Structure 1
Amino acid sequence: MMRIDAHQHFWQLAARAGSWPPPSLGAIHRDFAPADLAPLLAAHGIAGTVLVQSLPTAVDTDYLLALAEQNSFIRAVVGWADLLAPDAPATIARLASHGKLKGLRPMLQDIEDDQWIANPELAPALGAMVEHGLRLDALVLPRHLPALLHCARAYPLLPIVIDHAAKPPIADAAFGAWREDMAQLAALPNVHCKLSGLVTEARPGWTVGDLRPYAAHVLDMFGPRRVIWGSDWPVVDLAGGYPAWLAASEALLAHLGQEDRDDIFGRNACRFYGFE
């Protein structure tokens, strides 16, 4: 089975000008580079990754693309662009010309307006993403899901993946509107969901049992062909680390057949992001 980690990050603190992560998050308040991740990939049989932006700047996206050119295990990059800028379509066309740039991620969880992704002024940019075959990574919290649903319905040809299952309230052992909103999004064939980031939403000392109801709902709604596994490394180091999350993921998916597990752990990422 070829495994793909469909959600990981690299960053340099000196380039972030005080942006997240803060010094209080000591486990991840340092630089993270390909040499830090490579041993984990080798130890766990991960053949490649999708490198995802974590800073909303064009400079950061260029940095990630340069890393992708230098490191063959990076199979795809999800970058950032100002989707409301007048020149957004031209910027998107330029970025899409890079062979490994496969998607864009507006950092919706940090935008004050919960309805931002439903703004009709995004039409030129989202249309350009469709035209150039890019995907939308949706970094959302549960409160953003109704607007994301509006966007997904308006752009049925735009492939969308919900990062971290929209960060459900696992620490509170609650569901709220998350369960129904995710079901509505899952009814749309252009929407996928990443099985990632759950442990950082759980309470300290989490167990697989804490995660299971949320993972089960994602699997029930999206099915094994539209769920994509990712580590969210190095953020996962805040809640147990790469090996613990991978082991938990294997336990959460153990009831599935081998073909379904192979899809979730690798093939779905290849299909969604469009790489071999």
Structure 2
Amino acid sequence: MPAPTPHRRFDRLEEWKLEPSGSSWFLRFRGARGIADHVVGALPRARALADATADHRWPHRVRMDFAPPDGLEDFLRLLGEVVVIPVGSPGGVDGAVALDDHARPVREGSSELARTEHGGLLHLVKHGVGTRAEIDRAGRRLCAELAEVVLRHEWFVRSTRLLPVPGHDPGRPATSVLLGLALGQELGLDVTPVADDRRVRKPARQMTPREREDLLTAFRVDEDLSGRTVLVVDDTHRTGYTLAGVANAARRAGADTVLGLTVTRNSPR
């Protein structure tokens, strides 16, 4: 299988600079607009400004009326390495990232897709296409990389509970749950179960638009999450409805901030 071609999708932090201006600092950047949400989430005293549409080199800006804190530059480098997932419709989460896309075109403009390295590792874990040792190594690597994202992400590191997305078939262990349990052990965080009262549900990719909308109220969290920052863990992000449904359940349980973390994003454009 050919390797996917690197190409810019403007879903990462492409380029950035920090500039002092009097007693303030400005972060100017190019890339996904949602990056500003992550910066303001990590630095609540910061403020996202209206896009500077005339400045094509630096179209997005965040103002800080304080000196940039230690660790900010490593945080910004992280936002250049992960995929920033938009949190518009269907909503539910305050910010979300994936390690990578699941697949990308083999060449610019091609409709032929090839799995990324992370997409291949996830396929190995989800479908067991390999030896037990290969599957275990792939799972450990994915867990380690997810943990690194949490520890380097100045907002995600404040999470106090992990909520793995339940699988669509209760008769099979869900990859998202296995990853969530392993990640909780790696980070020393408690894992909160998410209930789905339906016996079996279709995979999101097979659902009708109405069935996807039903996911928004499909889940339940029985633990009191009042005032907490929680991290919803899934294996892949496709339409966003499953992630939003679990986020809504967390908010009904009292969560103040809901963040999302997935291995891959499976929505090639």
TM-score by length of 2: 0.29
Which one has the bigger helix percentage?
1
Which one has the bigger strand percentage?
2
TM-score by length of 1: 0.29
Q: Which has the larger radius of gyration?
A: 2
